[in-house]
Amino acid sequence: MAVYTDITDAELEGFLAEFDLGQAQSCKGIAEGVENSNFLVETTRGRFILTIYERRVRAEELPYFLSLMQWLAQHGFPCAEPMAGRDGAIQRQIRGKPAALVEFMNGLSVRRPTAAHCLEAGEGMAWLHQAAQGFAGRRVNDLGHAVWPGLFARLRGEAEALKPGLAGVIAADVEAIAAAWPRGLPSGTIHADLFPDNVFFQNGRFAAAIDFYFACDDALAYDIAVALNAWCFEPDGSFNITLARALIAGYERRRPLSAAEKAALPVLARGAALRFFLTRLNDWRSTPEGALVRPKDPLEYERKLAVHRAGLHLLDAAAAAR
């Protein structure tokens, strides 16, 4: 979340006039994340999140994302349901940019997850995977393993400028991951970005998932791999096996992993680290001036790649979770 496009009081009033949600009482920009412009809007009838879609989210893909959120909410999964206007539409425009209003979800994210948080997050992810079954929408993962070689080719110079010698190291990662990438794993709708700031807790329990704008069809275990990178590394860059075991154990409360999925976790996690290194590297140089956001450091994920490169035994973590 972030603010790239500010809005005036008149623009907000005009936007809300298309809904039956009361009068605006306050509107505050949310200066977090790197993708879209977000505002916390309070009206006489509740609290909502207004999103203006800026980068990566293409207008033609919004029906998929918004319909998925609507499907999940209507099938019992705790996520922000998009609000329909008086005309029944959930996708709208502000200043010529696509926009949507979704319900505000109660709860707090955590900055330093504990094993208990990871257990809950893992179970929440499996709940999401199950709730999405039957959703008719389909979307290819346009930031999946097939695009990493081409993305790196465009960013090779940026990698070398960031850290001398890094381009050659990442090139070797790209090649090794492509050669080892697993096929035929159970697949379905995944979140693809279930970081701690996209999960809310209440009283220590999983309360909601937010920010579905990378959701797509891919291997279900790849979603776990993304989360292992996001939840289970310490600030010093070391991997916390206790957190990893808790996350996988929580997931398996609802959906046991197959032997093939467990065996694939090391390369999936290495690939997920590469994906976020590359997209952060891209954002590092391209965030617009004046945006109320700081781009995230790609070197955080370069350090995680180094751990995977050294032979992180995620399979042991998975096995110990059973």
Q: Which of 2, 20, 133, 131 is nearest to 79 (CA)?
A: 131
Radius of gyration in angstroms for the set of CA atoms belonging to the chain, rounded to a whole number: 20
Check pLDDT > 90 for residue 218.
yes
Check pLDDT > 90 for residue 109.
yes
Quote the pLDDT of residue 57: 75
CATH for 9-103 (3.20.20.70, 3.30.200.20, 3.40.50.720, 3.90.226.10): 3.30.200.20
> What pLDDT, in 10s, does the model give residues 52-100?
988 667 888 999 999 999 999 999 999 999 999 999 999 999 988 999 9
Quote the pLDDT of residue 182: 97
Structure tokens at 182: 């697993």
Domain locations in the chain as residue ranges: 9-103, 115-321
> What pLDDT, in 10s, does the model give residues 19-30?
999 998 999 988
The pLDDT-based confidence of 1 (bands split at 50, 70, 90) is: very low
Q: Spelled out in words, what is the top-level CATH class assigned to the domain 115-321?
A: alpha beta
| Residues sharing a CB contact under 8 Å with residue 137, sequence separation 6 or more, in sequence order | 63, 64, 67, 68, 71, 189
User: Which residues are registered as beta bridge partners of 205?
Assistant: 202
Half-sphere exposure of 205 (CA within 13 A, CB side): 4
Quote the pLDDT of residue 30: 83
Quote the pLDDT of residue 55: 67
d(CA 105, CA 123): 19
DSSP state, residue 10? H
Three-state helix/strand/coil letters over 222-290: HHHHHHHHHHCECCCCCECHHHHHHHHHHHHHHCCCCHHHHHHHHHHHHHHHHHHHHHHHHHHHHCCCC
**Which amino acid type is present at position 107?**
G
Quote the pLDDT of residue 56: 64
> What pLDDT, in 10s, does the model give residues 282-311?
988 765 555 545 668 999 999 999 999 988
What number is the average pLDDT over the span 307-320? 69
Out of 34-48, 197-211, 228-242, which region has the weakest mean confidence (pLDDT)? Answer: 34-48
> What pLDDT, in 10s, does the model give residues 161-170?
999 999 999 9
> What pLDDT, in 10s, does the model give residues 152-196?
999 999 999 999 999 999 999 999 999 999 999 999 999 999 999
What number is the average pLDDT over the span 254-260? 97
Query: To 10 degrees, the CA torsion angle through 199, 205, 207, 211?
Result: 10
What number is the average pLDDT over the span 217-241? 96
Q: Is the pTM of this model over 0.85?
A: yes
